[in-house]
Amino acid sequence: MVNIKNLSYSNYTGLDGHDRGAKVVARALRDAGFEVIYTGLRQTPEQIAETALQEDVDVVGLSILSGAHMRLFPEIMQLLKEREMADVLVIAGGIIPEDDFEPLKKLGIKAIFGPGTPTGEIVDFIRKHTK
Amino acid sequence: MGTKEKQSVSQTKRDWENNTLKETLDKSPERRERFITTSSRPIARIYTPIDIADFNYEEHLGFPGQYPYTRGVYPTMYRGRLWTMRMFSGFGTAEQTNTRFRYLLEQGQTGLSVAFHLPTIQGYDSDDPMSKGEIGVCGVAVDSLADMEILFSHIPLNQVTTSMTINAPAAVLLCFYIAAAEKQGVSSTQIGGTIQNDILKEYQAQKTWIFPPDPSMRIITDILQFCTKKVPRWNTISISGYHIREAGATAVQEVAFTLANGLAYVQAGVDAGLKVDDFAPRLSFFFDSHLDLFEEIAKFRVARRVWAREIQDRFKAKNPRSYLLRFHTQTAGVSLTAQQPENNIVRTTIEALAAILGGTQSLHTNSMDEAWALPTEKAATIALRTQQILAHESGVANTIDPLGGSYFIEALTNEMEEETYRYFDRIEKLGGVVEAIKKGFFQREISDSAFRFQREIEEKERIIVGVNEYLTDDQLEIPVLKIDPEVERTQLARLQKTRKTRNNQKVDQLLSQLQRAAEGTDNLIPHILAAVREYATVGEICNALRDVYGEYQEPIIF
């Protein structure tokens, strides 16, 4: 067991149906010993923040391929803050143009894992950045 | 091949293995223990007549345009007419996409293919709370007939054919198209095109469903009935393996699940009282073309052969047009890398070549920048030029099924065909496609394959150039398409105007009539068309049906 109590791997993709990447990552994290709550498709920002709170997670993973990230991620970050979960590690993946990396990091999203990222890199990152 | 000849080749092969080959292997072993395809299929060192020992030319291949159509669905194939170069496009507002369409037609593209934005795909209007952030982002925003009129303005709908990637709300978009054509003075009997309308693969892979499987199948049979009478040139379902493959399936899973879905639709049509020969000729297919050249070519040949046989044997179809598996192909989006994106031009070329050698009827080539965003005009033009170079410069379109008779291709075709039938048996044992979906069978199979593929990359059993080998530190230097936030404002304003200027009392009345039809057995399509003509929106129509049918909830499997 790793010292991570809980991990929520939310797949907020707006209206998107692409779940291959999210599922592969969720499974790799589970295999690495994390407890993974995979919320399934089409979660609203409210649902994501609420699940994170209810499940008392250490990490929230967001997957989005539709291009709506600049509209939806700020809202999720705000809702987490309102629930006093600003210290939860938030990471993202999907189809996100490089120009958007900086503004997303300013919002507090700690890492963006684009296409081609080895799952081991995500596992290592989470271990390093959680207690 | 005769027994004597077989023995002779076997003997020669053994001698070769024990002498010539052994000497080489002793000195320098092969690069790998195991050579595998994109689908993790082990491939032998060499293929010989022994691998296709029971090969019977007339039974297994025959001639193009003749049963079992292994070599192609038409007698002259690309010597008669090249495949349709049909680039999928759509973004922003209807005006912007109309401009892109007209540009592509001027560049020599021969058919249109519409990408709708996610709210349309999910049956929501642009002003629905669920649509936030998605307006015009992933495709073109279409809420009502008002948008459709603009989308096709100055494009004569009796001259071009249009493919629309739309599933759960397919009936609504078909009615938008019919009504837009009527506005041009073109009747529904003159228009030609395709709606994807393949809901089964939505539950299995693409995941953009609305209603549960049973009412969804009823809507599909309503469309089959309606189009058979009123829109005879329309391809009513584009039975799609593309999304199944992109979600992680192997080549065999793609072909097996897709054909199983196709057979389920035919059964549903027959059960609804239609004659197989009245609607089977209007079913078409849509496959992925991945990087493994030979495996892909074999896959397309398997698809044609199995479909022809099953339609003839199971459904006793008499019209040869019912046997034809006509298909559109798109190169594999999932094979594009975000790293060194220019390399994707080469990947797409190989995939397009596989589709052509596999006998596709139409083709979309992906653009190099699609691991980052929707394609820019320049990237989309290069992708179209790729097809034109293959068509006019490479010589591959000069003869039909040029790889037919290759020991490797024929062995692979036979092997993949057998595996397809093994999947048919498993699906049958689970109670058919719909039952297997409810049990999560396809979802689990696909998810396992996707995970295995990823593991092979991470263990370097599979090399992806620029991803796990041949890396560079270069920064990305390609321009990326951005959607102007103005799109959202324009779209919301138009939707508001539509709602204000139409006859709302009439719309409400037509929507209630639609609900009554949904509760009963009346064909839904004429009701939807009536509402669409009065500018009812896709969201209003889908919500009316949501009230009756509810929404599907998927079992979570990963």
> Which residues of A are less than 8 Å from B141 in CB distance?
none
- Of A19, A44, A72, Cβ closest to residue B207: A19
Q: DSSP string of B184-206?
A: TT--TTT-EEEE----HHIIIII
Instruction: Tell me which fold the domain B196-474 belongs to.
Output: TIM Barrel (3.20.20)
Contact yes or no for B372 and A44 at CB 8 A: no
Contact yes or no for B137 and A67 at CB 8 A: yes
pLDDT band at B225; cut points 50, 70, 90: very high
The backbone torsions φ and ψ at residue A99, rounded to the nearest 5 degrees and listed phi first, read -60, -25
Once rounded to an integer, what is the mean pLDDT over residues B7-24? 96
> Which residues of A are less than 8 Å from B464 in CB distance?
116
d(CA B40, CA B37): 5
Residue at B512: amino acid letter: S
Assign B331 to helix, strand or coil: strand
Chain B residue whose CA is closest to A27:
B558
Check residue A2 and give its pLDDT. Answer: 30
Residue A6: pLDDT above 70?
A: no
pLDDT band at A14; cut points 50, 70, 90: low
Closest CA to B200 of B284, B261, B147: B261
How many Cβ pairs closer than 8 A exist between chain A and B?
99
Closest CA to B455 of A63, A98, A32, A99: A32
A127–chain B nearest CA distance, Å = 19
Whose tokens are 């037609």? That residue is: B105
d(CA B66, CA B64): 5
Residue A31: pLDDT above 60?
A: yes
B63 or B373: which leads in pLDDT: B63
Once rounded to an integer, what is the mean pLDDT over residues B529-552? 98
What is the percent of chain A with per-residue pLDDT over 90, rounded to a whole number? 44
Residues B124-174 have pLDDT tens digits of 999 999 998 899 988 999 999 999 999 999 999 999 999 999 999 999 999
H runs (alpha helix) in B58-167: 77-80, 94-106, 118-121, 145-151
> Which residues of B are less than 8 Å from A115 in CB distance?
336-338, 371
> Which residues of A are less than 8 Å from B451 in CB distance?
23-24, 27-28
Instruction: Tell me, yes or no, if A16 comes closer than 8 A to chain B by beta carbon.
Output: yes
Closest CA to B371 of B391, B348, B401, B354: B348
pLDDT band at B74; cut points 50, 70, 90: very high
d(CA B324, CA B74): 9
Longest Cα–Cα distance of chain B, Å, equals 87
Beta bridge partners of residue B283, listed in sequence order = B237
Contact yes or no for B133 and A68 at CB 8 A: yes
d(CA B417, CA B489): 52
- Of B119, B208, B480, Cβ closest to residue A97: B480
Contact yes or no for A15 and B121 at CB 8 A: yes
Residue at B118: amino acid letter: L
The interface pTM score, or ipTM, of the predicted complex is: 0.79
Residue B448: pLDDT above 90?
A: yes
Once rounded to an integer, what is the mean pLDDT over residues A76-91? 93
> Which residues of B are less than 8 Å from A28 in CB distance?
451, 454
Check residue B231 and give its pLDDT. Answer: 97
> Which residues of B are less than 8 Å from A95 in CB distance?
371-373
Check residue A4 and give its pLDDT. Answer: 38
Contact yes or no for A66 and B118 at CB 8 A: yes
What is the percent of chain B with per-residue pLDDT over 70, rounded to a whole number? 99
- Of B247, B458, B466, Cβ closest to residue A118: B458
Q: What is the mean pLDDT of chain B?
A: 95
Instruction: Tell me, yes or no, if A33 comes closer than 8 A to chain B by beta carbon.
Output: no
> Which residues of B are less than 8 Å from A20 in CB distance?
246-248, 334, 450
| A8, A10, A20, best to mutate vs chain B, most B CBs in 10 Å | A20
Residues B320-349 have pLDDT tens digits of 999 999 999 999 999 999 999 999 999 999
Residues B166-215 have pLDDT tens digits of 999 999 999 999 999 999 999 999 999 999 999 999 999 998 999 999 99
Contact yes or no for A24 and B131 at CB 8 A: no
Contact yes or no for A16 and B118 at CB 8 A: yes
- Beta-carbon-side half-sphere exposure of residue A120 (alpha carbons within 13 Å): 7
Angle at B364 between CA B351 and CA B190, to 5 degrees: 145
- Tell whether the torsion through CA atoms of B4, B8, B10 and B11 is positive or negative: positive
Check residue B479 and give its pLDDT. Answer: 82
pLDDT band at B366; cut points 50, 70, 90: very high
Residue at B465: amino acid letter: V
Contact yes or no for A115 and B371 at CB 8 A: yes
Contact yes or no for B476 and A98 at CB 8 A: yes
- Of A27, A72, A116, Cβ closest to residue B467: A116
The backbone torsions φ and ψ at residue B441, rounded to the nearest 5 degrees and listed phi first, read -60, -55
pLDDT band at A5; cut points 50, 70, 90: very low
Residues B81-111 have pLDDT tens digits of 999 988 888 889 999 999 989 998 998 877 8
Residue A9: pLDDT above 60?
A: no
What is the percent of chain B with per-residue pLDDT over 90, rounded to a whole number? 88
The answer, yes or no, to whether the previous bond of B526 is cis (omega within 30 of 0) is no
> Domain A7-129's class?
alpha beta
B446–chain A nearest CA distance, Å = 9
Residue B531: pLDDT above 90?
A: yes
Check residue A16 and give its pLDDT. Answer: 67
Chain B residue whose CA is closest to A29:
B558
Residue A71: pLDDT above 80?
A: yes
> Which residues of B are less than 8 Å from A98 in CB distance?
372, 476, 480
| Range of A24-38, A109-123, B85-99, B252-266 with top mean pLDDT | B252-266
Residue B504: pLDDT above 70?
A: yes
Contact yes or no for B133 and A20 at CB 8 A: no
Contact yes or no for B247 and A20 at CB 8 A: yes
Q: Which of residues 71-130 of A touch B (CB under 8 A)?
A: 71-72, 95, 97-99, 114-116, 118-120
- Of A40, A98, A116, Cβ closest to residue B554: A40
Contact yes or no for A23 and B468 at CB 8 A: no
Q: What is the mean pLDDT of chain A?
A: 85
pLDDT band at A11; cut points 50, 70, 90: low
B503 or A4: which leads in pLDDT: B503
Tokens of B84: 């349709």
Q: Which of A4-13, B42-51, B352-361 has the lowest mean pLDDT?
A: A4-13
Contact yes or no for A23 and B450 at CB 8 A: yes
d(CA B115, CA B89): 5
Domains of chain A by residue range: 7-129
Chain A residue whose CA is closest to B481:
A97
Residue A8: pLDDT above 60?
A: no
- Of A26, A70, A116, Cβ closest to residue B558: A26
Instruction: Tell me, yes or no, if A51 comes closer than 8 A to chain B by beta carbon.
Output: no
Chain A residue whose CA is closest to B464:
A116
pLDDT band at B116; cut points 50, 70, 90: very high
Check residue B345 and give its pLDDT. Answer: 98
Please check whether residue A10 is in contact with residue A39, taking contact to mean a CB–CB distance below 8 angstroms: yes
Check residue A3 and give its pLDDT. Answer: 31
Residue at B270: amino acid letter: V
